[in-house]
C-alpha cells in the first residue's frame, strides 16, 4: 500500500510524459527507442569487427604458474585422495572426492590473474568453474572454532596459503573441481583448488589436501618469500588489438582498439584510451561482464588526423569509481601497476 500521495518518481514520470506529449508523444518515444536500439547495435558491431580474446579462455590456453619445476607438479589419484579438515574445527574429518562433489554445487565465470603479471602481460585468464562452497565443506567438520583467526590450506606439492576466517566462509569462496565443464586438469589443480574473489592467483591454491583452522597469522609459501599476504587484485587494463603485427596506418583510418580490463571483485565501470600521453582521453565501449568476478572486454575506434608515431595508452576505472594507478610499479610485492601502451605509425 502506498503512502503520502505523489513521490519524486511520480513527478519525474509525469514530467517525462508531458514532454513526450508536447513533442509528438509516441512519435518521439518511438524515435528514442529506435535510437537506443541503434546504439546497442553499433556497440555490437564494434565488438564484432575488432579481434578480441574469447570471453572464456579455453582450458588449454589458460595461464599456468607453479612453484614447481616443469614436469614436477603433483599427479593425484582421485580414488585415493582425501581432504583432511583439521585444526580449530568442531570435529576433524576427512572427505573423499565424491563426497565433495555430492555437496550443493555453484557454477560461475571467474577471472584469475597472477600477482607476477606485468603491465600488459598475459598471466590473466577467465574460465567457468564449478565447485562446492568452502563454507559447506568446513561445516561438514562442524565449522571453525571461535578462537580461529585464519583458515590455512596445505597442498600436495607442499604449497601453503591462508585466508581470514571471514573470507574463507564467504559464500562466494569455492572449492572447485571443474573448469570449463570438465574436471580440473592436473596443471590446474586436480582434484580440487580454491577460488576466492578479489585476490591474485597465489591466494587460490591448487592440489589442496588439508584445510585447518588456526589461531595465528599463517604465512603462506609466497608470503614467506616477501609477496603480499593480502594479494588484492589491482585494477588493470590491457590492449590486445592491434597486435604487434599491424602497427601501420594512414591518416583518416579507423583504428580498431580493444582488450580486457579487470579489477577483481570491484568490477569495471569505465575504460578510456589516449593518443596524446594522457592529456585527453576517449571513452571505450565495454561489453557487459559474464559475472561479477570476471574481466570485461572493451573496444574503441580512434581516427588519426596527422601522420607520425603515436603512443596509445589505456586506463580503467573500477566499480567504485577509482582510476587505475598510473605510477609504474614492479610486481613484487603487491602486483604491478601502470598504464599499458602500444606504439603505432601513421602515414599520409
Domains observed in the chain? 59-225 (3.90.420.10), 236-347 (2.60.40.650)
Distance CA 40, CA 333 (A): 41
Give the pLDDT of residue 23. 36
Mean pLDDT of 325-329: 97
Give the pLDDT of residue 248. 85
pTM of the model: 0.87
Mean pLDDT of 39-59: 83
CB distance 268 to 261 below 8 Å? yes
Whether pLDDT at 128 is above 90: yes
Which cell goes with 184? Answer: 580440473
Which cell goes with 28? Answer: 518521439
pLDDT digits (tens, 9 = 90+) for 195-226: 999 999 999 999 999 999 999 999 999 999 99
Task: Return the ∠ at Cα 27 (arms to 23 and 30), rounded to 5°.
Answer: 120
Work out the burial of residue 294: count CB atoms within 10 Å of its CB; fewer than 13 is exposed, 13-18 middle, 19 or more buried: buried
Q: Is 22 left (phi over 0), alpha (psi -120 to 50) or beta?
A: alpha
DSSP 8-state code for residue 337: B
Mean pLDDT of 174-179: 98
pLDDT category at 245 given cuts 50, 70, 90 is: low
For residue 115, what are the contacts with CB-CB under 8 A and spacing of at least 6?
Answer: 200, 201, 202, 222, 227, 228, 231, 331, 334, 335
pLDDT category at 45 given cuts 50, 70, 90 is: confident
End-to-end CA distance of the chain: 68
Amino acid at each position: 500500500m502506498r503512502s503520502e500521495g505523489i513521490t519524486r518518481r511520480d513527478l519525474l514520470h509525469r514530467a517525462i510524459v508531458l514532454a513526450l506529449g508536447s513533442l509528438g508523444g509516441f512519435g518521439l518515444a518511438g524515435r528514442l527507442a529506435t535510437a537506443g536500439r541503434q546504439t546497442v547495435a553499433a556497440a555490437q558491431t564494434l565488438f564484432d569487427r575488432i579481434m578480441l580474446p574469447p570471453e572464456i579462455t579455453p582450458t588449454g590456453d589458460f595461464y599456468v604458474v607453479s612453484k614447481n619445476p616443469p614436469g614436477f607438479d603433483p599427479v593425484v589419484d582421485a580414488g585415493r585422495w582425501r581432504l583432511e579438515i583439521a585444526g580449530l574445527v568442531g570435529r576433524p574429518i576427512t572427505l573423499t572426492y565424491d563426497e565433495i562433489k555430492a555437496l550443493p554445487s555453484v557454477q560461475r565465470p571467474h577471472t584469475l590473474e597472477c600477482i607476477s603479471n606485468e603491465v600488459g602481460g598475459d598471466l590473466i585468464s577467465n574460465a567457468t568453474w564449478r565447485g562446492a562452497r568452502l563454507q559447506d565443506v568446513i561445516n561438514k567438520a562442524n565449522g571453525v572454532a571461535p578462537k580461529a583467526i585464519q583458515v590455512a590450506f596445505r597442498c600436495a606439492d607442499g604449497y601453503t596459503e591462508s585466508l581470514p576466517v571471514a573470507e574463507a566462509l564467504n559464500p562466494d569462496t569455492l572449492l572447485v573441481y571443474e573448469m570449463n565443464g570438465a574436471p580440473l586438469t592436473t596443471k590446474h589443480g586436480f582434484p580440487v583448488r580454491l577460488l576466492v574473489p578479489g585476490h591474485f592467483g597465489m591466494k587460490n591454491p591448487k592440489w589442496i589436501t588439508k584445510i585447518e583452522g588456526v589461531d595465528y597469522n599463517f604465512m603462506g609459501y609466497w608470503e614467506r618469500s616477501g609477496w603480499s599476504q593480502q594479494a588484492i587484485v589491482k585494477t588493470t587494463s590491457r590492449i590486445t588489438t592491434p597486435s604487434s603485427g599491424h602497427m601501420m596506418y594512414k591518416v583518416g583510418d579507423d583504428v580498431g582498439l580493444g582488450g580486457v580490463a579487470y579489477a577483481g571483485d570491484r568490477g569495471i565501470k569505465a575504460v578510456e584510451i589516449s593518443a596524446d600521453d594522457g592529456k585527453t582521453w576517449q571513452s571505450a565501449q565495454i561489453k557487459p561482464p559474464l559475472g561479477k568476478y570476471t574481466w570485461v572486454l572493451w573496444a574503441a575506434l580512434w581516427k588519426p588526423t596527422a601522420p607520425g608515431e603515436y603512443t596509445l595508452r589505456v586506463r580503467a576505472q573500477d566499480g567504485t569509481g577509482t582510476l587505475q594507478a598510473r605510477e609504474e610499479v614492479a610486481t613484487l610485492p603487491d602486483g604491478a601497476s601502470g598504464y599499458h601502451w602500444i606504439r603505432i605509425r601513421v602515414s599520409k
